[in-house]
Amino acid sequence: MADSQAGGSSRGERFFDAHQRATIEAAMARIIPADDQPGAREAGTVEFLDRYLSGLDFIYAKPDGSGFEKLEGKRAEAWQRRIAILRAKYVEGIKELDRTSQSRFGADFVRLTTEQQDRILAGTERPTLQAEAGLEEAQAVAGFAPVEPALQQTSTEIELDFFPLLALHTRQGFYADPIYGGNKDRVGWKLIGFQGPASLAETHAGRFTTLPFFAEQPIDWEEQKHYGAKA
Amino acid sequence: MAQKRKPERVDVAIIGAGASGATAAKVLTERGMRVVALERGPWRKRESFGGDELANVNRYNLWPDPILNPRTYRASTDAETKVEMFCPVPQMVGGGTVHWQGWLPRFTENDFKLRTIAGGLPGTTLVDWPISYPDLEPYYTKVEWAFGVSGAGGVNRYESFRSKDYPCPPLPPTRYSRKFYEGCRKLGYSCFPTPMAALSRPHNGRPATVQSAFAQQHGDPTGTRSSALSVWIPDALNTGRLDLRPDCYVHEITVDGQGRAKSAVYQDADGDFIDQEADIFILACGAIESARLLLLSRSPRFPSGLANGSDLVGRNATFHEYSAAIGVFDDPIYAWAGGGYVATSSYQFYEHDDQRGFVGGCHIASAGVGIPLPINWGVPDRPMWGLQAKQIDRDFYNHSFAIGMVVHDMPQHENRVELDDKVKDAWGLPVARITSKIHDNDLKMGRWVIDHNAEILEAAGAKKVYRVYPKRITGNCSHQHGTTRMGDDPNASVLNKWCQAHEIDNLFVVDGGPFPTGTGANPTLTIMANAWRVSDYIADRYDAERKPQ
């Protein structure tokens, strides 16, 4: 990777070279595998990530879906720093995946069987798990799988190790609005049964409503006044 | 330094245009005063908001960017300090109300005298408030009617006196709010429609809410949810007396020879420093940032920070910790409908009860599990990756909801906001360092309430229940209080009962900082009601003292 630290988007919408991209795509396909329903590969999560890392052109979609915001000033500086940190983590993480794959199975990660890939990824995940008191805490710290309905992000992605970072981005690419390049044909939303808007524009214009998914029966609040003993 | 012309002196300078600052701007300008509001963040219009979880929740579109605005945290006075985004709030015109879903319950009469009711609690600085529920009741009503809050008065058996019902009827029930209601009914608990800052019918020229799935943590592109941005700011601008200056970051409040507040020194979007003089200064930056600004404002007369002769600025900080029991059901719940927080609430566990073995209590309510997608959601036994993780997403997402609580954490002398001695923000100022050690009472309350929330889920027919107990205070609600506590004794408080600094009579704080205790309810309704009360006092006093007949 000669230009792994280069700024801007010299290669348009992409950051990874062909080998890096294939490696990440294969790993993502193990993080959310296909079964009778599509997984991360089919959702195009690698496209989502490659665009994200390509520079500052795909950070925020315009809220009406008409394109992407142009970042300026301190905000742009912060994102430049963040993207540079993330790129370095990916470049190093991919090298490490291949090093481990070579030493254990004699081939690059992308050439391994899916069972072998799972074993390599499990080994990559282990340090993160061991560093924490248990799965629950590791998930909370990793920030991508809070153990409760999260009210905010208390951890930041630039602090994550390679594997939790990859898992986070896979999840984001699988479920985020398709405008970011992943969630193709809304396969993520179909998997979980989220009846989302047809586009960001629908939400922006106030046409997207979830009222059909509210309760069918009303609640008689008058009657409820008689419940509960006064302390 | 400043090449620009020094701006004209005004009656009032408000620092921070969020929930409390915008309330003060509305009230004071409507009372005829000339106000400058200095907001460090941008002034975003509703057209700039959308339904995009990735941008709004994960990429700091609305949350502060931790690279620009970091904070540090330590779990006790002898623990290591770490860089951590502790208890952030959006920094922009409208503040946290820009992206909230807006649960607006009232406090109860006993919240203002918990020390008297529960007695002392070792290790805490529990006190009664210098004001009482009747002092705030008229202002609760004013805010509810200005915001068009949707709710039903008199349903909550633990509700204190109210002079007027809510202006809009409750929002229609969601499947998760109905399940919660059914569980409560079965157990004989009182429950009520969560009062919400969204319009169930047109109100003051604004249309009824559309019930998008993107509400909690998303800005509102439709103007049908009520916020400081959609209600107070337009009201204040309509008077022609508000000069709202976004992207203006106040670094210091200066004092004059008499020790009164003289000017707010701020850096504007061009990086120029400007000196804004005013007769009166109102801090409304949120409890963390208002304390930080006071501590940044050092002078020979106030060497340890402004209004800090008592050494209490920043101390007694309280932060609610959100936690939940999660239930999985056979039938679909669609807990993303309405954004996940069109809810039913209960105050069954709100009032203090000696039998429970801890002091205080808290509000509980039904809640969604995603924001709204499962990008930022999980359950304790879901692995990080692989087929099993996918299976849990598929099986649980549409079939689960949470019953949430906010830990009413107890005030402690050493739990505080200070200036960090190493980490600086992107403007070169020391960031806030938060010390927050969880009290045993908080842990006991958390366990007891989560266990009881789990019982409600079981009564509602859950086939599987997760109990997530709070273990430490992370500030995950954004609720923050106590850092400039109000009280009658200048040695035991920073502000008097009018939220006026004991040491500086033209300096007020109107965010959650004045709250002597955190209470167990979402604080913003009370913050706004209190800001209105204080603003009325300021306007009355200004009329009487500065403009004699």
Token code pair at residue A51: 């665009």
Question: With bands split at pLDDT 50, 70 and 90, how would you rate the model's confidence at B136?
Answer: very high
Q: Helical H runs in B270-381?
A: 287-296
- Is residue B341 within 8 A of residue B477, CB to CB? The reply is no
Check whether A222 has a pLDDT greater than 70: yes
Output the CA–CA distances (angstroms, integers) from residue A223 to B137, B156, B162, B166, in the order listed. Answer: 26, 11, 19, 18
- Is residue B259 within 8 A of residue B253, CB to CB? The reply is no
Residue A152: per-residue pLDDT: 47
By the CB < 8 Å criterion, does A102 face chain B?
no
Mean pLDDT of chain B: 96
Check whether B326 has a pLDDT greater than 60: yes
Query: For chain A, what is the total number of helices (H) and then of strands (E)?
Result: 10, 0
Residue A145: per-residue pLDDT: 41
Cα gap B422→B435, rounded to integer Å:
15
Note the Cα A203 to chain centre separation in Å: 22
Residue B171: per-residue pLDDT: 98
- Spell out a b/e string for B156-182, using b for 16 or more CB atoms within 10 Å of the CB, else e: bbbbbeeeeebbbebbbbbbbbbbbbb
- Is residue A181 within 8 A of residue B408, CB to CB? The reply is no
Residue A74 identity (one-letter amino acid): K
Token code pair at residue A130: 């061991």
Higher-confidence position of B173 and A155? B173
Instruction: Work out the average pLDDT over B41-47.
Output: 97
Residue A125: per-residue pLDDT: 80
Strands (E), B71-131: 72-74, 82-83
A157/B84 CB distance under 8 A: no
User: Which residues in chain A have their CB less than 8 angstroms from residue B466's CB?
Assistant: 147
Check whether A7 has a pLDDT greater than 60: no
Report CA Rg, chain B.
22
Residue B387: per-residue pLDDT: 97
How much of chain A is in helix, strand and coil states, percent to nearest 5? 55, 0, 40
Structure confidence by residue, pLDDT tens digits, A56-80: 999 999 999 999 999 999 999 999 9
Token code pair at residue B493: 């408080």
- Is residue B433 within 8 A of residue B419, CB to CB? The reply is yes
Cα gap B452→B362, rounded to integer Å:
12
B312: nearest Cα among B483, B480, B508: B483
Question: With bands split at pLDDT 50, 70 and 90, how would you rate the model's confidence at A142?
Answer: very low
Is position A7 within any domain?
no
Structure confidence by residue, pLDDT tens digits, A179-217: 999 999 999 999 999 999 999 999 999 999 999 999 999
**What are the residues whose beta carbons fall under 8 Å from the beta carbon of B538, sequence distance 6 or more?**
B12, B24, B28, B280, B282, B508
Name the pTM for this structure. Answer: 0.95
Question: With bands split at pLDDT 50, 70 and 90, how would you rate the model's confidence at A156?
Answer: confident
A189: nearest Cα among A201, A181, A177, A205: A177
Structure confidence by residue, pLDDT tens digits, A87-101: 999 999 999 999 999
B322: nearest Cα among A164, A154, A67: A154
Domain boundaries, chain B: 10-546
Is position A211 within any domain?
no
Q: CB pairs below 8 Å between A and B: how many?
A: 278
Instruction: Work out the average pLDDT over B138-165.
Output: 97
Query: Which region among A137-141, B23-27, B208-212, B224-228 has the lowest average model confidence (pLDDT)?
Result: A137-141
- Phi–psi pair at A32, nearest 5 degrees: -125, 90
A219: nearest Cα among A227, A210, A208: A227
Cα gap B338→A214, rounded to integer Å:
8
Check whether B84 has a pLDDT greater than 60: yes
Token code pair at residue B133: 């529920």
Residue B348 identity (one-letter amino acid): Q
Token code pair at residue B139: 């202002």
Q: In the CATH hierarchy, which fold is given to the domain comprising B10-546?
A: FAD/NAD(P)-binding domain (3.50.50)
Is position A172 within any domain?
yes
Is position A190 within any domain?
yes
Mean pLDDT of chain A: 86
Residue B547: per-residue pLDDT: 58
Count of residues in chain A:
231
Query: Which region among A226-230, B88-92, B140-144 has the lowest average model confidence (pLDDT)?
Result: A226-230
Question: With bands split at pLDDT 50, 70 and 90, how would you rate the model's confidence at A124?
Answer: confident
**To probe the interface with B, which of A42, A187, A219 has the most B CB atoms within 10 Å?**
A219
Burial of B290: CB neighbours in 10 Å, binned 0-12, 13-18, 19+ = buried
Residue B4: per-residue pLDDT: 84
Cα gap A220→B182, rounded to integer Å:
12
User: Which residues in chain A have their CB less than 8 angstroms from residue B192's CB?
Assistant: 221, 224
Check whether B499 has a pLDDT greater than 50: yes
Token code pair at residue A57: 């052109």
Residue A128: per-residue pLDDT: 62
Residue in chain A closest to B224 (alpha carbons) equals: A206
Higher-confidence position of A134 and B273? B273
**What are the residues whose beta carbons fall under 8 Å from the beta carbon of A79, sequence distance 6 or more?**
A56, A59, A71
Check whether A10 has a pLDDT greater than 50: no
Q: For B332, which DSSP code? A: -
Q: Which of residues 358-377 of B touch A (CB under 8 A)?
A: 367-377
Closest in B88, B397, B466 to A193, CB measured: B397
Widest Cα–Cα separation across chain B: 78
Is position A107 within any domain?
yes
A139: nearest Cα among B38, B385, B222: B385
- What percentage of residues in chain B have a pLDDT greater than 70? 99
Check whether A13 has a pLDDT greater than 70: yes
Instruction: Work out the average pLDDT over A3-30.
Output: 78
Query: Which region among A154-158, A223-227, B176-180 has the lowest average model confidence (pLDDT)?
Result: A154-158
Q: Which of residues 111-170 of A touch B (CB under 8 A)?
A: 118, 121, 125, 135-136, 138-139, 142, 144-158, 163-164, 167, 170
- What percentage of residues in chain B have a pLDDT greater than 90? 94
Residue A129: per-residue pLDDT: 61
Structure confidence by residue, pLDDT tens digits, B456-491: 999 999 999 999 999 999 999 999 999 999 999 999
Question: With bands split at pLDDT 50, 70 and 90, how would you rate the model's confidence at A135?
Answer: very low
Closest in B85, B213, B344 to A156, CB measured: B85
Residue A11: per-residue pLDDT: 52
Residue A209: per-residue pLDDT: 97
By the CB < 8 Å criterion, does A215 face chain B?
yes
Helix (H, G, I), strand (E, B) or coil at B508: strand
**What are the residues whose beta carbons fall under 8 Å from the beta carbon of A223, sequence distance 6 or more?**
none
Closest CA–CA distance from residue B267 to any residue of chain A (Å): 14
- Phi–psi pair at A200, nearest 5 degrees: -60, -30
B442: nearest Cα among B406, B466, B416: B406
Residue A159: per-residue pLDDT: 87
Cα gap A39→A28, rounded to integer Å:
9
Is position A223 within any domain?
no
Question: With bands split at pLDDT 50, 70 and 90, how would you rate the model's confidence at B128?
Answer: very high
Check whether B396 has a pLDDT greater than 60: yes
Higher-confidence position of A183 and B5? A183
B147: nearest Cα among B216, B206, B210, B219: B206
Instruction: Work out the average pLDDT over B106-131.
Output: 98
Q: Are strands B35-38 and B321-328 parallel, antiparallel or unpaired?
A: unpaired
Where do we find the tokens 């509980």? B364
Higher-confidence position of B298 and B543? B298
What is the span of the domain harbouring residue A167? 18-194
By the CB < 8 Å criterion, does B390 face chain A?
yes
- Is residue A45 within 8 A of residue A184, CB to CB? The reply is no
Cα gap A32→A9, rounded to integer Å:
28
Helix (H, G, I), strand (E, B) or coil at B145: helix
Strands (E), B425-525: 430-435, 464-468, 480-481, 507-509
Our count of domains for chain A comes to: 1
DSSP string, B346-360: E-TTTS--GGGSSS-
B35: nearest Cα among B263, B243, B285, B336: B243
Residue B521: per-residue pLDDT: 98
Q: For B526, which DSSP code? A: H
Question: With bands split at pLDDT 50, 70 and 90, how would you rate the model's confidence at A146?
Answer: very low
Question: With bands split at pLDDT 50, 70 and 90, how would you rate the model's confidence at B3?
Answer: low
**What are the residues whose beta carbons fall under 8 Å from the beta carbon of B132, sequence distance 6 or more?**
B109, B112, B113
Token code pair at residue B283: 């801090």
Cα gap B382→A188, rounded to integer Å:
17
By the CB < 8 Å criterion, does B181 face chain A?
yes
